[in-house]
A and B are shown apart, each in its own frame.
Chain A
């Protein structure tokens, strides 16, 4: 830059004796001065003090120079000064090399503008040398474009410097400048923008075709996700996780902790939580869905290419098959690369085209993934397994399991490895006894865990609505005994599902958490139902005291119907729907989305997201549980205390009334389409309606 191939550059302003000289060569010198000024932003003619470059006050008047010409000189000086500023900025950026690729590319583009400017100057100088009678006005006219452009560039640079924008963010700022009526200005700005886009497209190509984020300076709108757990925790709102009381203790599980540790030497674990979108880096003119698609494609490539460290030998086959697949994509990748590259050649980034290319790439990839997951990895089989374990599809298995562990889990108050092992052993035994090991083949992937919330949390929970397990005669009030139903093993049982590559891509931590939330409700429901049924058995030969019978019957009625509603009306219905959609869909991303929707739907319809209603259901469940336990305890005694029974009846009825109040309100707003199903079942003979929402007088 400094070595301009112009003779003019050697004529630097040297002396303060300029005045005298100017008197002699005023005509040509003025031009020279102007040219120098244009390059440096200062000239001897205009500067009073040479040692202070910032003090640029032109002499009020110079003899022999017309006032008008001085004005022109002023303007040219200003132009030169802008040039100087820009040049300084460019030099600075190129020298430091730490400001990131976008700024650098911006600087290079600026430099080429400056170069063309200098070229223009040299042209002018040439003209001046040939024709000494040229006027200053000629210079001004020749440089009109730059008088427009430079101030805008300087202000752009100022904006960039003051705002501290970097990376993709500057694209936004530059783009705003392209929206100018002046074609010169806007076309130059577009060039600058284009320079930025070249970097952007390169980064996009990198992630699209290799699944890598090539981003040394943290400028791209996709970054690696350092805290994998963020996603899982983020989705479950605090209120839910508190209610289901498992999220809090997730960090206690050693396996999970292991999974969370980043792989050594940044080997990337496949899955859809490796990268994340950084919204503040996303230029406003790139739609979020597009960015999502890019993210998805990138992560899918990761998934297809890299492998999980905890793969064991039998997974090698699948790995190989993936390898074969990845070859097929090279051609496609090449195409994408070409298309995208073509985009950068145009001076305007064609967003429509970009979206089209990416969407096409996404559709292709998504189809491939769909075929891989559904056909080769048997996604539906995996879902079947999950349905078997989490959603209690094999009812007989859980009936047996509940029967066998009923006491054990009831008396479990805190988690221990021994108990967990016992439970898992019992479960395995149940599987064997029912010959289900050929159907639920993945039993080694599913392990029961007891996730007790930390103590302080428990206390908060209980104090809200304490339900004692045993109600002693006469004392209906809450004593300080800690044997609350929700602190026993049944309420804190969860399943740990060890997802293997490549299924990890489908089942996120968040999904597993949701499955567990659903499982919590289902298993407690199953437990309470079993207890109520065993009460039936215990009392079948006592042909008396109908109050117990009626209360039991009513509770059973509610539990059975609620169970039917959740398991069949909601779960089975949605599940069938999900499977049908998976089979007909050609889009992996859509399948993933549908699966998440499926889980969300179930949670909504089982009232898990309706805080008060869910609390009420939980209260009903614990009333039923403690009713069974109390009655069983007193069974040996000849007479059951009627007051105790009536106490249970009253509590039960109160909660039912409350629940119906809430659900009635929800129903009025038609918020849950399946709620009507539940209410119809419970009120089939209009008993509730006719009795003010109560199940009878107890």
Chain B
């Protein structure tokens, strides 16, 4: 079963997202919550084996590893109808069960201690398939487990599986209001360093934007956590749809990622999905055409990251765009839409190289009925993402200037002697932002060289 993908769900947020993701996948492939193939699921042209494997009794089991330092969320999953779906060996809750206390250093440290146990699971899972393509990690970067343990695992994954892809779906915290976790800026910046250096592709899911979209598009005054997670799982399942419902092209992860990421550091992707519906609301989008879908995907209000199109006198632009269009689509419609978008200059692109909107056509699951003929997902590399990092760094800088709340960190080995790791991470994030800003300029081609000189 080639090009399998292993999903790692970390921490509270990661497991909640993961839960929604597997629900969605089961629905799309006609797999019951117990892992049995539904009797109606006769149509066999989908690929279940990328994300599932079959047990001896033909049950489908997700290639998923559930990790947490506290039992609450995973216990919840194990009480849900999906409790028999997962391989119980792949569910790992730290024995002391105390969690990471929203402390990156705590999570990182615990991750370090649990390395052996965790990688026993991951290695076993990796050997289970015959040619693993990569890992998908879902987590939040604000808390302790997802960010801290996530960072630790990222470092080790990259070390152990240097030729495997590591993609993350990372939930970024709200930046426009007072954080519920005070050290969240610390956690974020420390994690961002690992995401920059050890992940190959990060799909950034900005909680601010998720909330905004849920409120605006779904007409919810206060969206529930489940609804937010559903948004994320829609993105996750959508972006893997060409792997699961293969067509002519884009049927491995690498082909999706490599067309989006021109240089290794610029691997933070924004995403959008349209039309969005929730179970109990009528969708306001009545008619869907390819052009409509593609145009909506480019509208900032649909993008799951709040980015500024301009900051510090820089006009941000798209490095690359991949639109995954699901449904019955006439290829000529796609072309007409592209022409229209180009004429109206709806998307600004980089000046230093050729770039276009890549389109991948994907089939829809025959088992999930949707109100819409066409739906679309955008994954894009946009330099404006640096403004998100910028906001995070602002918060971080304010805190670190006062060395606020650093005591919790100092208690752990990494920060025992000094706070170099903080500065180092901040530096990496700064370089990242600089590179993204440089990517808006014509001379970006030479940026790499000078930066290498600085870096070495």
Interface residues of A (CB under 8 A from B): 392-396, 399-400, 403, 430, 433-435, 438-439, 529, 532-534, 536-547, 549-550, 553-554, 556-558, 560-561, 563-564, 567-569, 571-573, 576, 677, 680-685, 687-688, 695-697
Using known A-B contacts A434-B47, A550-B262, A697-B445, determine if residue A564 contacts B353 with beta carbons closer than 8 Å. no
Q: Is the CB of A685 within 8 A of B356?
A: yes
Q: How far is the CB of A175 from chain B (nearest CB, A)?
A: 51
Using known A-B contacts A439-B44, A543-B264, A556-B258, determine if residue A550 contacts B353 with beta carbons closer than 8 Å. yes
B448 beta carbon closer than 8 Å to chain A: yes
Within 8 Å CB of A571, what residues of B? Answer: 248
Using known A-B contacts A396-B251, A537-B165, determine if residue A545 contacts B448 with beta carbons closer than 8 Å. yes
Using known A-B contacts A395-B247, A438-B44, determine if residue A533 contacts B254 with beta carbons closer than 8 Å. yes
Q: How far is the CB of A558 from chain B (nearest CB, A)?
A: 8
Q: How far is the CB of A540 from chain B (nearest CB, A)?
A: 5
The distance in angstroms between the C-alpha atoms of A561 and B110, with both chains bound, is 46
Q: Contact flags (1/0) for B327-359 with A, using CB distance below 8 Å?
A: 000111011001100100000011111111111
Task: Return the chain B residue nearest A560 by Cβ.
Answer: B259
B49 beta carbon closer than 8 Å to chain A: yes
The distance in angstroms between the C-alpha atoms of A556 and B320, with both chains bound, is 12
Q: Is the CB of A546 within 8 A of B449?
A: yes
Within 8 Å CB of B447, what residues of A? Answer: 546
Interface residues of B (CB under 8 A from A): 1-3, 44-45, 47, 49, 130-131, 158, 162-163, 165, 197, 200, 243, 246-252, 254-255, 257-259, 261-265, 330-332, 334-335, 338-339, 342, 349-359, 361, 445-449, 452, 455
Q: How far is the CB of A603 from chain B (nearest CB, A)?
A: 18
Q: Is the CB of A433 within 8 A of B130?
A: yes
Using known A-B contacts A439-B44, A549-B448, determine if residue A400 contacts B250 with beta carbons closer than 8 Å. no
| CB pairs A–B below 8 angstroms (27 shown) | A395-B247, A403-B2, A434-B47, A434-B49, A435-B47, A435-B49, A536-B258, A540-B200, A543-B265, A545-B452, A549-B264, A549-B448, A550-B262, A554-B353, A554-B354, A556-B259, A568-B334, A568-B359, A569-B335, A680-B339, A681-B356, A682-B356, A684-B354, A685-B354, A687-B354, A696-B353, A696-B354
- Extra contacts, 17 of them, besides A396-B251, A433-B2 (Cβ < 8 A), are A392-B248, A395-B250, A403-B2, A403-B131, A434-B2, A533-B254, A543-B455, A546-B445, A550-B445, A554-B354, A557-B356, A564-B358, A564-B359, A569-B331, A683-B354, A684-B338, A684-B349
Q: Is the CB of B2 within 8 A of A687?
A: no
Q: How far is the CB of B154 from chain A (nearest CB, A)?
A: 13
Within 8 Å CB of A688, what residues of B? Answer: 354
The distance in angstroms between the C-alpha atoms of A277 and B27, with both chains bound, is 59
Q: Is the CB of A682 within 8 A of B248?
A: no
Most buried by A among B249, B265, B334, B357: B249
7 pairs of A and B residues whose beta carbons are closest in the complex: A546-B448, A684-B356, A685-B349, A396-B251, A396-B246, A567-B248, A553-B262
The distance in angstroms between the C-alpha atoms of A335 and B448, with both chains bound, is 82
The distance in angstroms between the C-alpha atoms of A537 and B445, with both chains bound, is 20
Q: Is the CB of B353 within 8 A of A695?
A: yes
Within 8 Å CB of A697, what residues of B? Answer: 445
Q: Is the CB of A549 within 8 A of B263?
A: yes
Q: Is the CB of A433 within 8 A of B354?
A: no
Q: How far is the CB of A440 from chain B (nearest CB, A)?
A: 10
Q: Is the CB of B342 within 8 A of A395?
A: no
The distance in angstroms between the C-alpha atoms of A564 and B335, with both chains bound, is 11
Within 8 Å CB of A576, what residues of B? Answer: 330-331
Q: Is the CB of A536 within 8 A of B254?
A: yes
Q: How far is the CB of B249 from chain A (nearest CB, A)?
A: 5
Task: Return the chain A residue nearest B356 by Cβ.
Answer: A684
Q: Is the CB of A537 within 8 A of B452?
A: no
Within 8 Å CB of B259, what residues of A? Answer: 556-557, 560
Task: Return the chain A residue nearest B321 by Cβ.
Answer: A684
The distance in angstroms between the C-alpha atoms of A680 and B334, with both chains bound, is 12
Q: Is the CB of A537 within 8 A of B254?
A: yes
The distance in angstroms between the C-alpha atoms of A434 and B356, with both chains bound, is 32
Q: Is the CB of A529 within 8 A of B163?
A: no
Q: Is the CB of A680 within 8 A of B254?
A: no
The distance in angstroms between the C-alpha atoms of A532 and B3, with both chains bound, is 17
